[in-house]
Structure 1
Amino acid sequence: MARGGQQSLARVAVIVRAGWAPLFWLGVLSAAIGLLLPGLSGRRVGGYAGAALFVVCAAFVALVRRGRYRAWAERASRAGKFDFLQDRAVTLRAWRRAHRWWLVGAFVLGVASSFAAPAVLGLAFAGAGAGLRLKAGWIGRREREDERALWVRTDWAGTGSPVGKRVKGYRTTGLAAGDAAPGGALRR
């Protein structure tokens, strides 16, 4: 890949972190609505099963594909002089727009499943959101250790995963580049 062309780059941690807030809060809201319904299994069973699924989903999402993130980070090349670094807000907005119907569907499914087992799927979705936040934190710690920020081309990542099939590599910059702190949070 020639370095002379201008390419748009999105921060890897921001893409990972983009889904945590909508998933977590919609999951919590659907679980709260679900606890208002008695359900077939009862509120207590649904609450305990939901809490267990929260922990399992959070751990699974936080740990899955770490090897791919690590491998791409180790082979990352330096960003070119003319590469365009996408703002954090633009990356968040693009991810959330692309996934809005999935989020609405997850919320509706979480509420609808409460007729059988209250709060179970809502807490599972909230756990997935918490797992995304943990994964973004892990990426941020890795960025601080290596003293370089990880970026991926927007046309490769699209609005999906920064380790998807279309991704062919990462680019790096210094930690001060862009408007996101390590881990994808807004820089203060």
Structure 2
Amino acid sequence: MADGAVPGPGEPGSSAATLPEGGRRRLLPPSRAVRRLPACALALGATIALPHADEPGEGSPVRVATGRVCLSTLTSELELSCGTYGFGDLRHVCRTDATSVRCARTSAVTVRNTGYSVVYVTAISGPRQGVREQGKDQTLAPKQSATLSPGAARILFDITMRRTGDAPGRIEVTHVK
């Protein structure tokens, strides 16, 4: 069944007894749909990041690159995964020339605080897949930069950000190597 399609009678997820006349389900108005969400979904209630601006075609990964942004409006107690919400895959940096794409392990990512709140950034790295260790928090005042690296023979899995103050936390990738 295609995404967003409504199951018809006899298809998994449908019940002929509960379908209205014509065999189609009616969508709930937004006011009623929200009431059916789990309490944990309502408790979050914050926009955490902007989606990737340039999603590639199906099957190609989104990789870290200069200019990518991570934006958080989460409370100051919560960290945001910038690898998931903004930067893309941090494990490898890829160079494209006219004939091929060459990828190597990311050795460092420089980020700049382009927001109005002080933020704390942390590198999450490890010696291999499945092993993740959190580095030390680095404090970035507005307009300050920091270079985060996984260390020798390690993989950079993520960069997390936690904000302070009332303004959203915003960091931008300024250099990748």
TM-score range, shorter chain: under 0.3
More strand, by proportion? 2
TM-score by length of 2: 0.27
Q: Which has the higher contact order (CA 8 A, sep 6+)?
A: 1
More helix, by proportion? 1
Larger Rg: 2
TM-score by length of 1: 0.26
